Amino acid sequence: MSTEIETLQRMEKQITDLQANILSQKNVLTFSEAARYTGFSRSYLYKLTHLQKIPFSKPAGKMIFFDRAELENWLLNNQNEHEEIENQASTYVTLNKRGGRS
């Protein structure tokens, strides 16, 4: 039984590694792929796109796409902004908990 579990765990790791490799090869990422690539939650990535803080395109007006090279550049050059937005989000959540309003 434990060898089956170990085999499954190795297979899951291989799949994860393959997915990461595929993402690093693609030039254009979908929204879900960009979230996985950056490590951001989907809600945080939506917030960044809504505030137009991150480079993206919406060619048909519905689906959001990201140029991988632009996304990498943004990640490298906007670390402070990312931390500031995270802090603002944490403050908002803390102050706006149910019953926590003044």
Q: How far apart are CA 2 and CA 88, in angstroms?
A: 45
Q: How far apart are CA 62 and CA 23, in angstroms?
A: 22
Higher pLDDT, 98 or 57: 57
- What is the pTM (predicted TM-score) of this model? 0.60
E strands in 1-102: 28-30, 65-67
* Angle at the Cα of 23 from the Cα atoms of 39 and 29, rounded to 5 degrees: 80
Give the pLDDT confidence of 56-96 residue by residue, as tens digits: 999 888 899 999 999 999 998 887 666 777 777 778 778 87
Q: Does residue 102 register a pLDDT over 50?
A: no
Give the pLDDT confidence of 13-47 residue by residue, as tens digits: 888 877 777 767 789 999 999 998 888 999 999 99
Which residue shows structure tokens 């989000």? 89
